Amino acid sequence: MAYSFAHKKILLGITGGIAAYKSAVLVRELIKQGAAVRVMMTEAASRFVTPLTFETLSDYPVAMDMFDSHRTSSTWHIEWARWPDVIIICPATANTIAKVAHGVADNMVTTILMAAKTPIIFCPAMNCEMYKNRFYQHNEQLLRENGYFVIAPEEGELACGEKGVGRLADLNDIVSETYWVLNQTNSLADKKVVVTAGPTREAIDPVRFISNRSSGKMGYALAENAAIRGAHVTLISGPTALKPPRHVHFKSVDSAQEMASAVAESAAESDILIMSAAVADFRPKEKSSQKLKKDEFGFNLQLEPTTDILKSAAGHKKNQIIVGFALETENVLENGKKKLAQKNCDLMVVNNPFVAGAGFDVDTNQGYLVFRNQEPIHLPLMSKWDMAGEILNHIERLSIDHKY
């Protein structure tokens, strides 16, 4: 996800594990998304990757030696501890985690951590047996209980050749967790939000289907953004290439029928339903259980309409906010207004895929927000992440209006 870390100061602490080489990519990614990054390292980390690599990437001297003759002040560690908005320890070794959990400050990294007042995120990476070790587990638990964030390592093949849990979390997850820690609010606290995303696939036979070009990016951005605002989010997604966002309940579906059932299960209890999925309007009348031969196809594929999920949810609505999406290639506003009325929605997000930078599989979008009793609002070209934020700001406003 392309977030914005503009004006955010991130201190990255690197401790001595082989995953230290991945931290170079993390620095690049955070800087690319607008953050100012400084790096501190333990002596052991510098055996894996040199400070010069990080000095070059962050364009700032690396802090490693408490008694460095180039230090800018005699209370250098305090100056560094006060600088960042968030600290990420990546990779975090069992040794550093044990030290922090027990109040040891015996190098530049652990001393800065002890002096810090900002949120701290640990990204452990180690051999699977070290990770399972009960002393390690106890120390990690101590960190969690004391308000530190820990991004659990993943299962997979480890540098030592063994397989198990211990591999550094995906860098994208580290970036998204950092964004979450920095931007968490409670503007949608305790709200139940259901978001649908992606295309649906309507099977012709076991290997062929009818689908569309939806990437799911807009819906995934909405789900993640709502979770950052404190909502309990269920994301119901058709097949996409995207990884489910952290902190959302994820349901994977294939066909329009499966999506309709999943929405029926979750939507009745929800406060907000956002139908950003590109649901197929038609499906083959019959699905063959065997792969059809060319000559069995004929030239006519018989189709039947799928259930209109949005319309039927809006038909049963009580006190919910219901949001639809409409893709229109002509008379965009007029058709959007008609669709809002036909489908009984509170808000219709209308866009035209022919406009440069909008539509399928791009990271940007533009369009109109069409309301029941209010003039439409034009959203200029922006990232899908920012557009998700704009849409949710309006949904928040509508849900306050609903209450009074």
Q: How far is the CB of 191 from ligand CTP (least distance, A)?
A: 19
The 3-state DSSP class for residue 232 equals: strand
Contacts of 28 (CB under 8 A, 6+ apart): 57
Closest CB to ligand CTP among residues 251, 339: 339
Q: What positions carry a catalytic annotation? A: 160
Closest CB to ligand CTP among residues 99, 283: 283
For residue 91, cis peptide bond before it (omega within 30 degrees of 0): yes
| E strand residue ranges, 17-162 | 36-41, 86-92, 120-124, 149-150, 154-157
Q: How far is the CB of 175 from ligand CTP (least distance, A)?
A: 29
Nearest residue to 42 via CA among 125, 109, 142: 109
Q: How far is the CB of 194 from ligand CTP (least distance, A)?
A: 12
Backbone angles phi, psi at 115, to 5 degrees: -85, -10
Q: Which ranges of 59-186 would DSSP assign to H, the alpha helix?
A: 76-82, 94-101, 108-115, 128-132, 134-145, 171-183
**Count of H-run helices and E-run strands, the chain:** 15, 19
Closest CB to ligand CTP among residues 127, 320: 320
Closest CB to ligand CTP among residues 53, 261: 261
Return the bridge partners of 286, or none.
none
Q: How far is the CB of 173 from ligand CTP (least distance, A)?
A: 28
Nearest residue to 143 via CA among 120, 127, 126: 120
Q: How far is the CB of 300 from ligand CTP (least distance, A)?
A: 21
Contacts of 344 (CB under 8 A, 6+ apart): 311, 314, 315, 317, 322
Are 363 and 33 within 8 A, CB to CB? no
Alpha-carbon distance 235 to 219, whole Å?
8
Q: How far is the CB of 334 from ligand CTP (least distance, A)?
A: 12
Closest CB to ligand CTP among residues 86, 392: 392
Q: How far is the CB of 264 from ligand CTP (least distance, A)?
A: 12
Closest CB to ligand CTP among residues 109, 313: 313
Alpha-carbon distance 358 to 382, whole Å?
9
Closest CB to ligand CTP among residues 194, 279: 279
Q: How far is the CB of 277 from ligand CTP (least distance, A)?
A: 5
CB atoms within 10 A of CB 129: 13
Alpha-carbon distance 252 to 389, whole Å?
24
Structure tokens at 325: 């999406």
Fill in the DSSP letter of residue 337.
Answer: H
Single-letter amino acid, residue 398 = L
Beta-strand relationship, 202-203 and 209-210: antiparallel
Closest CB to ligand CTP among residues 57, 267: 267
Contacts of 50 (CB under 8 A, 6+ apart): none
Can you give the binding site for ligand CTP, defined by CB under 6 A?
A: 256, 275, 277, 279, 281, 306-310, 324-327, 339
**Helix or strand run (H / E) with residue 252:** strand 249-252
